[in-house]
Amino acid sequence: MARNRLNKEWKEVQRNPDPDILLELDGDSFEQWRAVINGPQESPYEGGRFQLKILCSASYPYAAPQVSFETKVFHPNVNFNTGELCVDILKTDWSPAWTLQYVCRAVVSLLRDPNADSPLNCDAGNLLRSGDLRGFNSMARMYTIEHAMS
């Protein structure tokens, strides 16, 4: 199932690419994918290109893919060291009707709308929760320039 379905997704991505998402196979198997997403406009990530690593197990699409950032990003829902990210649709709210492209779009939305209530990066979460938007934006911007715009 996983292979046929991913093959289908692969063809669909080639037919209808999303201008903000480059999604491609990483290697020969359908297990590992690589995505490059554009930081959303009017966010501190604008202009940055962020690489994601996507792993699909044999139980995909019944089990969610594992997604992590390869590019360092300062964001409350992304672990700064490991790149692990916390987003409902990859955990409890996963549905097999989601595709890898949808998942990438959800990650772009997460960059646009951080959720400070369940932080994996406490520093980023605390800045947002204390209302220091300026502090948060400048930290996120600095790391975007340093790691995602080279």
Partner 1 sequence: MAPAACLNFASMMGQGSSFLVTLSKPQQTPSGFSIRYNDEVLLVTRVWEDTPMDTWNREHPTRQVVYGSHVISVNGKRNIPEMIIALQESCNIRMEVARSLETELLDEMISRDRKMWNPLVEEVFNSLPERHCNCCKNTSCAVCLEDFDDEMVLQLPCKHAFHRDCISVWLLNRSTRCPLCNQVVDDSHWSWLGQRVTGCGSSAVYMALSWFVMV
- Residues classed as catalytic: 86
Q: What is the C-alpha to C-alpha distance for residues 94 and 139, in angstroms, rounded to an integer? A: 31
Among 24, 57, 58, 62, binds partner 1 (CB under 8 A): 62
Binding window for partner 1 (CB under 8 A); candidates: 13-21, 60-68, 80-88, 138-146: 60-68
Q: What is the C-alpha to C-alpha distance for residues 64 and 59, in angstroms, rounded to an integer? A: 8
Q: What is the C-alpha to C-alpha distance for residues 138 and 64, in angstroms, rounded to an integer? A: 33
Q: Which is nearer to partner 1, 24 or 93 (CB)?
A: 93
Closest CA to 125 of 85, 79, 75, 87: 75
Q: What is the C-alpha to C-alpha distance for residues 1 and 40, in angstroms, rounded to an integer? A: 33
Cβ at position 59, least distance to partner 1 in Å: 9
Q: Which is nearer to partner 1, 7 or 41 (CB)?
A: 7
Among 24, 55, 82, 96, binds partner 1 (CB under 8 A): 96
Q: List residues near partner 1 by CB under 8 A.
A: 1, 4-5, 8-9, 12, 61-63, 95-97, 99
